[in-house]
């Protein structure tokens, strides 16, 4: 407990402890007839002192309307917690491994408005139901939201699809997401497509790379210059607000005749519960690249590399897939040379059952070269946010490169108004203030 940051809350915790100890002492030492009167008085006095410390969480909408979004803040110590609105609505709070608290704000908050909540200990010992589950199984982690699969993370290298003589063992890899599904359970990604065998659902790799004086490539595995490997899972979790995993990868250079690890990589993936009637599914991916040694890694200008998304196999027919980005661009012919740039981009179209759906990717404004160029393939369902299109990058020892993304899956046609609002929630979240009154 950091008493200097939250003195009122530390005081309240101390009062509660003193109350418990004093009541135990009084029960043991006072005659029974006097006992109940003194106990009652002591309890009232100590409770009155404790409630002097009230922790309030205030959420300011800012300049835009907020509706049904995950919000994070720094709580005064470890949980469990819950928030109680001025209308008595109780919201579960989930504290993550880094100490950040998350909750899902169900109400609409108009632009310029503020909502206030009281932060309390949960009223029920069992806590809120866990709506997001991450289950570790052989070779993968499956993440479910409200009983439906949201996505699966592949740990170990996956088996090659049967009946594909074009695939050789060099193409096997792990450390990616597939399948990724819409709220109604429709798959929107593909794996090992015949026209780009190294594409895998949602994956991450750098393409044009300078390392130890050699040119290598971690993206195009079939060339044998480099690869990306899954290393280990650090943790898997679920909860009432979010669930996910943290894992480690490495990007390995194969051009010197011996295996040389150029970069270490960490993935943190978090899926959110948005309620029973959610129109979309949200999950965040944070990729952290660090130099594996004291040798810097150069990332020269190139047309693709970084985060990749491979859309549904049905969209290999170019007439079946649509593209849209935050700037209203729908032309797929200008995906190179930083000609297509935006805050978010979406691929959409009919899925296996013929019903429409899609997937959007949003790049955080703190990412390198933000807003990042968008490499959209002219005829295939492939999308990459490619900072190297905008110029050279360099990864230096001791200076991690952090890339943050939010993904949105949906059924039906894309809603540009909704996507803009979700982007603003991500890029410019509501301001949260925690205060303690005594």
Confidence at residue 126, expressed as pLDDT on a 0 to 100 scale: 57
Same domain, 416 and 353: yes
Same domain, 141 and 176: yes
Confidence at residue 125, expressed as pLDDT on a 0 to 100 scale: 54
How many whole angstroms separate alpha carbon 187 and alpha carbon 178?
Answer: 9
Structure tokens at 106: 């169900």
- Round the CA-based radius of gyration of the chain to a whole number and report it: 25
DSSP assignment string, 42-62: HHHHHHHHHTT-EEEEEEE-T
Same domain, 229 and 189: yes
Beta carbons within 10 angstroms of residue 147's beta carbon: 7
**Cα distances (angstroms) measured from residue 385 to each of 177, 179, 221, 336, 422:** 16, 20, 19, 11, 18
Q: Residue 341, Cα to own-chain centre: how many angstroms?
A: 22
Q: Which 3 state secondary structure label does DSSP give 97?
A: coil
Confidence at residue 420, expressed as pLDDT on a 0 to 100 scale: 97
Residue ending a domain, choose from 87, 111, 128? 128
Q: Kindly state whether residue 2 falls inside one of the protein's structural domains.
A: no
Q: Spell out the residues 6+ positions from residue 428 whose beta carbon is closer than 8 angstroms to its own.
A: 62, 64
**Cα distances (angstroms) measured from residue 299 to each of 5, 178, 222, 313, 343:** 42, 27, 20, 30, 22
Same domain, 109 and 155: no
Q: Kindly state whether residue 432 falls inside one of the protein's structural domains.
A: no
pTM, to two decimals: 0.88
Q: Kindly state whether residue 433 falls inside one of the protein's structural domains.
A: no
Please give the tally of structural domains in the chain. Answer: 3
How many whole angstroms separate alpha carbon 167 and alpha carbon 169?
Answer: 7
Residue ending a domain, choose from 95, 128, 161? 128
Q: What is the signed CA dihedral for 297, 301, 303, 308, rounded to 10 degrees?
A: 30
Q: Is 202 left (phi over 0), alpha (psi -120 to 50) or beta?
A: beta
Same domain, 411 and 344: yes
Name the residue range of residue 45's domain.
7-50
Q: Spell out the residues 6+ positions from residue 413 whose beta carbon is closer than 8 angstroms to its own.
A: 348, 356, 358
Same domain, 196 and 326: yes
Same domain, 219 and 258: yes
Same domain, 92 and 12: no
Structure tokens at 280: 């979309």
Same domain, 276 and 396: yes
Same domain, 189 and 68: no
Q: Kindly state whether residue 250 falls inside one of the protein's structural domains.
A: yes
Type and span of the H or E element at 29: helix 7-29
**Cα distances (angstroms) measured from residue 271 to each of 284, 382, 387:** 6, 23, 25
Q: How far apart are the first and last CA of the chain?
A: 17
Same domain, 221 and 86: no
- Listed residue (71, 78, 125, 124) closest to 97, CA to CA: 78
Beta carbons within 10 angstroms of residue 256's beta carbon: 12
Confidence at residue 73, expressed as pLDDT on a 0 to 100 scale: 97
CATH number of domain containing 104? 2.60.40
CATH number of domain containing 365? 2.70.98
Q: Kindly state whether residue 408 falls inside one of the protein's structural domains.
A: yes
Q: Kindly state whether residue 1 falls inside one of the protein's structural domains.
A: no
How many whole angstroms separate alpha carbon 96 and alpha carbon 404?
Answer: 17
- E strands, 306-429, in order: 306-310, 322-325, 344-350, 356-363, 374-376, 382-385, 393-395, 401-411
Q: Kindly state whether residue 398 falls inside one of the protein's structural domains.
A: yes
pLDDT in tens, the chain (438 residues): 333 333 333 434 444 444 444 434 444 444 444 444 444 444 434 443 434 478 999 999 999 999 999 999 999 987 789 999 999 999 999 999 999 999 999 889 999 999 999 999 886 555 688 999 999 999 999 999 999 999 999 999 999 999 999 999 999 999 999 999 999 999 999 999 999 999 999 999 999 999 999 999 999 999 999 999 999 999 999 999 999 999 999 999 999 999 999 999 999 999 999 998 889 999 999 999 999 999 999 999 999 999 999 999 999 999 999 999 999 999 999 999 999 999 999 999 999 999 999 999 999 999 999 999 999 999 999 999 999 999 999 999 999 999 999 999 999 999 999 999 999 999 999 999 999 986
How many whole angstroms separate alpha carbon 149 and alpha carbon 146?
Answer: 8
pLDDT tens-digit readout, 219-236:
999 999 999 999 999 999
Cβ atoms 359, 407 nearer than 8 A: yes
Q: Kindly state whether residue 437 falls inside one of the protein's structural domains.
A: no
Same domain, 191 and 108: no
Confidence at residue 277, expressed as pLDDT on a 0 to 100 scale: 81
Beta carbons within 10 angstroms of residue 123's beta carbon: 9
Type and span of the H or E element at 423: helix 416-427
């Amino acid at each position: 407990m950091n008493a200097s940051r939250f003195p009122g809350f530390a005081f309240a915790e101390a009062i509660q402890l003193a109350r418990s100890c004093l009541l135990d002492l009084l029960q043991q030492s006072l005659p029974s007839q006097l006992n109940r009167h003194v106990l009652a008085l002591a309890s009232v006095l100590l409770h009155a002192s404790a409630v002097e410390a009230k922790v309030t969480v205030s959420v300011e909408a800012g300049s835009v309307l907020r509706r049904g979004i995950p919000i994070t803040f720094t709580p005064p110590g470890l949980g469990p917690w819950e928030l109680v609105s001025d209308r008595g609505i109780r919201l579960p709070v989930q504290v993550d491994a880094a100490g950040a608290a998350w909750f899902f704000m169900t109400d609409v908050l108009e632009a310029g408005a503020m909502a206030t909540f009281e932060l309390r200990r949960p009223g029920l010992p069992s806590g809120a139901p866990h709506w997001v589950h991450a289950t570790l199984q052989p070779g993968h982690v499956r993440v479910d939201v409200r009983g439906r699969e949201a996505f699966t993370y592949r740990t170990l290298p996956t088996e090659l699809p049967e009946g594909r003589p074009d695939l050789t063992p060099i193409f096997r890899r792990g450390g990616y997401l597939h399948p990724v599904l819409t709220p109604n359970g429709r798959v929107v990604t593909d794996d090992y497509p015949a026209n780009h065998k190294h594409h895998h659902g949602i994956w991450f790799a750098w393409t044009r790379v300078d390392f130890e004086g050699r040119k290598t490539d971690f993206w195009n595995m079939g060339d044998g210059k480099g690869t990306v490997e899954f290393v280990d899972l650090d943790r898997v979790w679920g909860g009432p607000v979010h669930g996910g995993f943290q894992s480690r990868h490495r990007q390995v250079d194969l051009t010197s005749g011996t295996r040389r690890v150029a970069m270490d990589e960490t993935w943190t993936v978090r899926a959110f519960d948005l309620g029973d009637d959610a129109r979309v599914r949200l999950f965040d991916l944070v990729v952290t690249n660090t130099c594996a040694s004291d040798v810097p890694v150069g990332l020269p200008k190139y047309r693709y590399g970084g985060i990749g998304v491979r859309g549904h196999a049905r969209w290999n027919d170019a007439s079946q897939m649509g593209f849209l980005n935050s700037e209203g661009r729908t032309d797929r012919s200008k995906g190179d040379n930083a000609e297509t740039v935006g805050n978010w981009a979406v691929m959409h179209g009919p899925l296996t059952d013929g019903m429409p759906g899609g997937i959007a990717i949003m790049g955080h404004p703190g990412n390198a070269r933000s807003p990042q160029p968008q490499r959209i393939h002219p005829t295939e369902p492939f999308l990459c946010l490619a900072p190297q299109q905008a110029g050279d990058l360099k990864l230096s020892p001791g200076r991690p490169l952090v890339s943050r993304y939010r993904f949105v899956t949906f059924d039906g046609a894309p809603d540009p108004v909704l996507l803009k609002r979700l982007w603003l929630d991500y890029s410019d979240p509501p301001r949260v203030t925690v205060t303690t009154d005594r």
